Amino acid sequence: MPEGDTIVWTARRLDASLSGKVLTRTDFRVPSLATTDLAGRESLPVATYGKHLFHRLSGGVTIHSHLKMEGRWSTLVAPHAAPPREAKRLETQVRRAERGHTTRALLYVSDALAVASKLGLLDVIPTSEEQAIIGRLGPDIMAESWPETGLDAALDNLRGQPQRLLGEALLDQRNLAGLGTFWISEMLFVHGVLPWLTVAEVPEETLRAVLDDARRLMLASATTGVQSSTGRAGDGETKRVHARSGLPCVRCTDTVRVAMIGEAGRERTLFSCPTCQGGYAPNDDRRPQRPLVERPAGGRRRV
């Protein structure tokens, strides 16, 4: 699930391949950008805020994207710039990206290209308009300024909504930016807090600890590129409750549950253990839930 950590990691990857180089060709596959051509502009460092990527280019232009559920930016070395034994494989990958029906953007520089697929949002804006987007968001949990000012501002925002469900308040990017269902499910489990408590029901020290731990682990995940709440990277070892509904809790013998949270039409899924977190979601019918099965593509489906 792309959350603040994945966004920072993605920005670093894009920078490593593109920063300081001139775009030799661009290809946008969304109708609103069909005629946009950014060739000739230099790729500047990619900025992030919460779940937003701001890929700045020379001339005051920014490629603004949001990965939503399944989006990603990946980078490939141009086949002609790779050792001969790798060129064939890279040619196949480039061709696949260029023909892919989920491809939304291709950015070429002399020795590499960046490929965006399944993006939730893609736009090209004046760099001067980034602030208008950021201004609608709460403090960024990944930002350097988080320990000094971000954490307290986020806590104030949460405290201002005492009757709101905690899980819903944490998902609201206007309160704080960067958290999503993975980190909220994982951190509330670690601290034994049910996501369906109201904000007022959770002590300040607990909220502080949840956010501190989330940031610490997200910074680590942004470095490794592996979203892990456990510090481990092995298959099935990176999480405790997220997407584990119907499976036994790693701490007790109870079964992990999934339930919806949020306003009608904008619901998200959160995962929790009724024993470790002291209860069920109010809308949980308590019937058995079947495990989710991971698909090779990284998506998942119910069986």
Q: Which residue is nearest to Zn ion (CB)?
A: 249
Strands of the sheet containing 43-49, edge to edge, are: 43-49, 52-57, 61-66, 121-126
For residue 205, the minimal CB distance to Zn ion (Å) is 22
Catalytic residue from among 2, 79, 195, 274: 2
Between 193 and 199, name the residue whose CB sits nearer to Zn ion: 193
**Lookup result for tokens 């480039």:** 94
Catalytic residue from among 41, 51, 239, 257: 51
- Comparing C-alpha atoms, which of 284, 259, 274, 283 is closest to residue 194? 274
- Comparing C-alpha atoms, which of 217, 214, 55 is closest to residue 122? 55
Between 18 and 194, name the residue whose CB sits nearer to Zn ion: 194
Between 115 and 256, name the residue whose CB sits nearer to Zn ion: 256
Between 152 and 237, name the residue whose CB sits nearer to Zn ion: 237
Site for Zn ion, residues 43 to 82, rule: CB under 5 A? none
Residue 195: active-site member = no
For residue 272, the minimal CB distance to Zn ion (Å) is 9
| Amino acid (one-letter) located at 38 | L
Residue 2: active-site member = yes
Site for Zn ion, residues 236 to 295, rule: CB under 5 A? 249, 251-252, 254, 273, 275-276
> How many residues lie near Zn ion (CB under 5 A)?
7
Q: How far apart are CA 68 and CA 87, in angstroms?
A: 32
Catalytic residue from among 164, 208, 251, 268: 268
HSE-up of residue 231 (Cα within 13 Å, Cβ side):
2
Between 170 and 273, name the residue whose CB sits nearer to Zn ion: 273
Question: What separation in angstroms does the CA of 8 have from each of 123, 131, 218, 243?
Answer: 19, 18, 9, 23
Residue 3: active-site member = yes
For residue 206, the minimal CB distance to Zn ion (Å) is 18
Q: Residue 67 in 3-state DSSP?
A: coil
Question: What separation in angstroms does the CA of 234 have from each of 4, 27, 188, 217, 292?
Answer: 21, 36, 22, 16, 18
**Residue 190 binds Zn ion, judged by CB under 5 A:** no
Enumerate the active-site residues.
2-3, 51, 268
Which chain residues interact with Zn ion by CB under 5 A?
249, 251-252, 254, 273, 275-276
